[in-house]
Amino acid sequence: MSSLPSPAFPSLEGKSVKDLKSVFFSGIGGHGMSVLARLLNAEGIKVSGSDIAETEITKELKDAKIPVYPQDGSHMDGSAVLVWSSAIKEGNPDLVSAKKSGMTLAHRSDILDLLMREKEGIAVSGTHGKTTTSSLISSILLVVGRDPSWALGSSFRTKEGNEEAWRKGEGAVFVAEADESDSSLLKYRPKISVITNSDGDHFDHFGTIENYRKDFLSFIKHSEKCVMCMDDEGNRKLFGMLCEAEKGKILGYGVKEFKDLELEGFREEKYAMLNNIRFFPASSPVSSSFSLSLAGKKTEVELRIPGLHNCLNASAAILACTQVGVDFGSAAHASSLFLGCSRRFELLGCENGIRLFTDYGHHPTELKALLSSLKSSYPSSRIGALFQPFDYSRVQDFAKGYAQSLCAADKVVVLPIYGARQDPANFPGVTANRMKEAAEALGEGEKFEMAESLEDGAKRLASWSHKGDVLVTIGAGSVVKTNTLILKLLKEKL
């Protein structure tokens, strides 16, 4: 039994950001932790932290005058609060020292909660689409002059250039990507919540899909309004579990006809319908377009990012922005200036006529959407994928789903499992080869190759490709390290 407080426990209840005084982040080099450290630093809070290795992120923090130390528990003098994430385990030297000295232990979500509560919070959650949707909301608010603050899962691109994953604005709205993986979702009290979908993940924590969805019910209860995709079966089940008062909070969107939803207590004037959806090649100035109708109002939406899933993400973003006072048409127009997130359908380069993309996807549904977008954008090209599965529990739960999604590619090279948070000894017999076995059962086994290392995987994918092909590296782990090598190998091809 862990002596750490649950991520859902509000360790800083009744506090404000200014009450924090001095904060130490254990594992400050993690993306989410560094974003929060930068935001607190911008608020004038004394911030420092530790990590096990020097990375680009820790170098950037030091450049911002935020001290970063070895993770050995010996550099926290004077700090009142130790911030930890779910990646930090019992026995961590910083935790041991913090407990001995009587420091307050706060989960990273406690810091995000404080930042959101001091503004009009828009919190985006769901199994997929959180980063793109929260980034779209942030981009729209920035374009229409609302000067928002945000804490996101990635940087994003606009016509004006790259926007970092964090921002301290002077406006009233704070946009947050709300991770649902560890039940920290339960402590948030946003003005507007967004649930993109709820088809299930993180079963190592939740055990069942029912437990997974219970957290979303609380998320809705704690929000003033909730924007939900009603095309998603999981979201429709969530809606059916709400009491009448909570059903009144819901603003829905989707491509389904309202009459086909058959949801008792859901009113048609609160359902935004996507119509006339069109897709264009990714090289086109516009990658997709559609019209969005709500309660007698209609607006045209043009996106520079491809795929039906992104049309839905944009609809969620537009609707969320209208709930904090942005004009419907203005929000739609502003969405057209968004050029995508880092590591989400991101084009890295083209060598010898071969394009290389990268994507963060690590769930079967995400892989299906990614490959569908690639095929619709480049219909005459062969698609080659280098996939690194993330965590043993996901391979245990989703091997068949991964195989089904990846079969849309013409070649799939599978890397060993990236077990960042899990001990393989707890998952005997669970290897990446399960995906090839599942593909063989589907009659698609010849498409799959198993790689022994990052370098081996990069070489296999590059050697398979020829002019006109589209390649993509996929995963939430270290697969990004292959991108430079693949581009080098493609450049050297005869």
Q: Which strands make up the sheet holding 271-279, listed edge to edge?
A: 166-167, 149-151, 173-177, 120-125, 192-195, 225-229, 250-254, 271-279, 288-294, 297-303
Per-residue pLDDT band for 43 (boundaries 50, 70, 90) equals very high
Residue length of the chain: 494
Per-residue pLDDT band for 1 (boundaries 50, 70, 90) equals very low
Are 407 and 442 within 8 A, CB to CB? yes
pTM of the model: 0.88
DSSP code of 418?
A: B
- Helix (H) or strand (E) run with residue 232 in it: none
- Radius of gyration of the chain from Cα atoms? 22
**What pLDDT score does 3 carry?**
64
Judged on CB neighbours under 10 Å (0-12, 13-18, 19+), 87 is: middle
Domains of the chain: 18-107 (3.40.50.720), 119-341 (3.40.1190.10), 346-492 (3.90.190.20)
**What pLDDT score does 365 carry?**
86
Look at residue 202 and tell me whether its pLDDT is greater than 70.
Answer: no
**What pLDDT score does 390 carry?**
86
The model's pLDDT over 418-443, given as tens digits with 9 standing for 90+, comes to 976 678 888 998 999 999 999 999 99
Looking at per-residue pLDDT, the higher value among 393 and 294 belongs to 294
**What pLDDT score does 263 carry?**
95
Per-residue pLDDT band for 200 (boundaries 50, 70, 90) equals low
What is the mean pLDDT of the segment spanning 368-382? 89
- Helix (H) or strand (E) run with residue 225 in it: strand 225-229
Pairing outcome for strands 470-474 and 448-450: unpaired
Smallest CA-to-CA distance from 141 within 125, 126, 119 is with 119
The model's pLDDT over 67-83, given as tens digits with 9 standing for 90+, comes to 999 999 988 888 999 99
The model's pLDDT over 326-363, given as tens digits with 9 standing for 90+, comes to 999 999 999 999 998 988 888 899 999 999 999 988 88
Percent of the chain with pLDDT over 90: 73
What is the mean pLDDT of the segment spanning 220-231? 97
- Helix (H) or strand (E) run with residue 357 in it: strand 354-359
What is the mean pLDDT of the segment spanning 298-327? 96
Per the prediction, the chain carries an average pLDDT of 92
Q: How far apart are CA 218 and CA 457, in angstroms?
A: 42
What is the mean pLDDT of the segment spanning 281-306? 90
